[in-house]
Amino acid sequence: MEKKFVVGVDVGGQTTKIGVVDQKGEVLAQTVIRSDTYGADAEAFLDALAESIGVCIRSAGKEGQVKGVGVGAPNGNYYTGEVSFAPNLAWAANQSVKFADILSDKLGGLPVTLTNDANAAAMGEMAYGAARGMKNFIMITLGTGVGSGIIIDGKMVYGHDGFAGELGHTTVLRDGRQCGCGKKGCLEAYCSAIGIVRTAREWLDGTDEPSALRSIENFSSKDIYDAAKAGDALALRVFEYTGNILGRSFADFVAFSAPEAIVLFGGLARAREFLYEPMLNAMNDNLLKIWRGKVKILFSQLKESDAAILGASALAWD
Amino acid sequence: MEKKFVVGVDVGGQTTKIGVVDQKGEVLAQTVIRSDTYGADAEAFLDALAESIGVCIRSAGKEGQVKGVGVGAPNGNYYTGEVSFAPNLAWAANQSVKFADILSDKLGGLPVTLTNDANAAAMGEMAYGAARGMKNFIMITLGTGVGSGIIIDGKMVYGHDGFAGELGHTTVLRDGRQCGCGKKGCLEAYCSAIGIVRTAREWLDGTDEPSALRSIENFSSKDIYDAAKAGDALALRVFEYTGNILGRSFADFVAFSAPEAIVLFGGLARAREFLYEPMLNAMNDNLLKIWRGKVKILFSQLKESDAAILGASALAWD
């Protein structure tokens, strides 16, 4: 019998989502387990994961019809199938875990394919979302950090070692803001959820400009969005500044792989109304003439609740 | 009979080099024609080129044994086979020339494959040079301008439109030096032969620092190299500065495609002794930890007189 279903697993710092997916990208059954209650015991986590995958397949009524399991995990390496030194996963924070091999063993040999979360998002967008039918695009995930997945000629770019696509750590400002990675001036230090809070904080601290944000202790990127929605001038300028930096970076990415589109996903991408124009203008202003006006900036078309599972599941089709 | 030979054609602004090449990268016969004596008449140039290719094949004694012709040309597009709006080629400066199709017709249907000169250099390095056996590397050509050819998973990256790999026009300094392309702060504005002359000129004009370069009217990049060789402090610092910018850019390129190596070619790459250390240090200082100390910077291993022909010829093997 042809196997027409796949399982997608999205490993996050607190929870891991599991779903059974069909060829159209419908999630037929899903479940969630904790990722953070196993301490350093990777084996125990993988036991629980394998069991829940089994339960999920049975509850979808698809026993024996699953082609494989695709996993998106922080610091997941496609070539080695390992999750290595992922700071937010206690069981992989100080070691390399042979995630794909161990999970496949526990699932009776079902093929398991692993990659990082941003690559999984790109695969999902290509299989079921905004990039369907595209062979050349770049996925940028704007979340707590900035991740990326690069598709060239219909294939995910993994590079020599499996770690390609770390565009959040390209430099946007020489000797700029300190980034969590240890470098200075990274895109992620400006254009992540954390980055825009830093921008707003710097501007509030450096001026007397009135802003609704002044009354919120420890405001979040969501608070900046809400303030912008309400017409707060400073909050609006924060998005303009952020969109400008993103657009400039996109122009550099286009010079690399000449994609048809840049596709955005993640919490910050919800601020489309404030980011889109400054992004598009800054990108076009910094592109060579051959590309000006020709490269699209698109937003994910996957339902946010399903997107991570769908992205991971897309890996299992190949 | 298996066809064991290919022809490489390197189209330059003044001359066009033609060579018959075997599988080991030996140039068995070669000839040169002018590129700049045909005005806007592309047809006349292509007639002369086809005739010389025929002569070259006959003088190598390989009639009927040639598999195809590979052409490297400014603004050459692999997908369309066209040379379009190439400022330095009078017959293609104001039009798109269906170079590959027309040349193939004139050669009785022999397959003709076209790409730009930097991509051709990358193909040559992979087939016969420093990148033999590599599947992921980035070629940077440091000449009058800065060109690039990107190899991922053993394949040249052409992108959606055939124009991928314009790394000379990624931004190294926001609102920096004016580049010939119309943008500001491009890598090419700093790290080309013209760029380093601009750097030296700016520093000479901005200070009273003594330098051997002060006595040379309209000095060239070669003069800066000679001055550095002779121990001129300013000239040495120009190379250090240039190497630093290159290394920072390489770090961004690594974050994109995780290559095994960056391979350098072109006139400026001859200043290896002055560029290598600042490049390598700046690259490693700006890489994520996963790549630090692991990415090689290599120099072309092709004989400079043959390199352009070899690079173009490598296209014809596929």
Contact A150, A134 (CB under 8 A): no
* Residues A23 and A314 sit within 8 Å (Cβ to Cβ): no
Average pLDDT of the segment spanning A129-158: 95
Residue A318 has pLDDT above 80, yes or no: no
Buried b (16+ CB within 10 A) or exposed e, A190-202: bbbbbbbbebbee
Of B171, B253, B290, the CB nearest to A163: B290
CB within 8 Å: A258 and B289: no
Model confidence pLDDT, tens digit, residues B221-278: 999 999 999 999 999 999 999 999 999 999 999 999 999 999 999 989 999 999 999 9
Closest partner CB to A160 (pick from B167, B259, B288): B259
Per-residue confidence (pLDDT) for residue A153, from 0 to 100:
97
In percent, the amount of chain A with pLDDT more than 70 equals 100
Q: Does residue B116 belong to the interface with chain A, where contact is any CB pair within 8 Å?
A: no
Residues of A in contact with B255 (CB under 8 A): 165-167, 169-170
The complex scores an ipTM of 0.93
Give the model's pLDDT for residue B150. Answer: 98
N- to C-terminal Cα distance for chain B?
Answer: 17
What is the pLDDT confidence band of residue A63, given thresholds at 50, 70 and 90? very high
User: Are residues A285 and A277 in contact, defined by beta-carbon separation less than 8 angstroms?
Assistant: no
SS3 letters for chain B?
CCCCEEEEEEECCCEEEEEEECCCCCEEEEEEEECCCCCCCHHHHHHHHHHHHHHHHHHCCCCCCEEEEEEECCCECCCCCCEECCCCCHHHCCCEECHHHHHHHHCCCCCEEEECHHHHHHHHHHHHCCCCCCCCEEEEEECCCEEEEEEECCEECCCCCCCCCCHHHCECCCCCCECCCCCECEHHHHHCHHHHHHHHHHHHHHCCCCCHHHHCCCCCHHHHHHHHHCCCHHHHHHHHHHHHHHHHHHHHHHHHHCCCEEEEECHHHHHHHHHHHHHHHHHHHCCCHHHCCCCEEEECCCCHHHHHHHHHHHHHHC
Closest CA to A275 of A203, A199, A214: A199
Assigned token pair, A123: 């695969």
Cross-chain residue pair A173–B171, CB shorter than 8 Å: no
pLDDT bracket for residue A59 (50, 70, 90): very high
pLDDT value at position A15?
Answer: 92
Average model confidence (pLDDT) across chain B: 95
Whether pTM > 0.90 for this model: the answer is yes
Which of A160, A171, A291 is facing B252, going by the closest CB pair? A171
* Contact between B161 and A294 using a beta-carbon 8 Å cutoff: yes
pLDDT exceeds cutoff 80 at B37: yes
Q: Which of A299-313, B57-71, B128-142 has the lowest mean pLDDT?
A: A299-313
Residue A13's pLDDT band (boundaries 50, 70, 90)?
confident
Contact of A166 with chain B, judged by CB distance below 8 Å, is answered with yes
The pLDDT of residue B170: 97
- Chain A residues in contact with B286 by the CB 8 A cut-off are 171, 183
Chain centroid to Cα B40, Å, comes to 25
Copy the structure tokens of residue A316: 């299992």
State the pairing for strand pair B66-72/B112-115.
Answer: parallel
Q: Does residue A304 surpass a pLDDT of 80?
A: no
Q: How many CB pairs under 8 A join A and B?
A: 121
DSSP helix/strand/coil, A74: coil
More confident residue, A186 or B180: A186
pLDDT in tens, B115-131: 998 999 999 999 999 99
pLDDT band at A203 (very low <50, low <70, confident <90, very high): very high
Q: Determine whether the interchain pair B167/A258 forms a contact, defined as Cβ–Cβ distance below 8 Å.
A: no
* Residues in chain A closer than 8 A to B257 (CB atoms): 150, 157, 159, 164, 256
CB A19 within 8 A of CB A30: yes
Give the pLDDT confidence score for residue B1 in this predicted structure: 65
| Mutation target among B166, B256, B294 for the A interface, most CBs of A within 10 A | B256
Query: CB–CB of A161 and B294 under 8 A?
Result: yes
| Whole-number pLDDT of residue A1 | 64
Mutate to test the interface with A, among B75, B135, B139, B252 (most CBs of A within 10 A): B252
Residue B175 forms contact with A (CB below 8 Å): no
Question: B194: closest CA among B265, B253, B242, B133?
Answer: B242
Could you tell me which of A87, A68, A9 has the C-alpha nearest to residue A316?
A: A68
pLDDT at residue B109 in the model:
96
From B53's Cα to the closest Cα of chain A, the distance in A is 31
Task: Note the pLDDT tens digit of each residue in A77-108.
Answer: 999 999 998 888 999 988 999 999 999 999 99
* A146: contact with B, CB 8 A cutoff: no
Phi, psi of A15, deg, nearest 5: -130, 160
pLDDT at A73 over 80: yes
What is the rounded average pLDDT of the residues B156-168? 96
Cα B20 to its chain centre, rounded Å, is 20
Tell me what pLDDT residue B13 has.
87
Whole-number pLDDT of residue B306:
84
C-beta atoms surrounding B230 within 10 Å: 10
The token pair that represents B71 in the structure block: 């052409």
Is B159 in contact with A259 (Cβ distance < 8 A)? Answer: yes
In this predicted structure, what is the pLDDT of residue A19? Answer: 97
| Burial (CB count <10 Å: 0-12, 13-18, 19+), residue A14 | exposed
CA nearest to B308, candidates B104, B74, B57, B106: B74
Residue type, B258: A
Q: Which of A163, A170, A257 sits opposite B157 (nearest CB)?
A: A257
Residue B303 confidence (pLDDT):
82
Whether B202 has a pLDDT exceeding 80, the answer reads yes
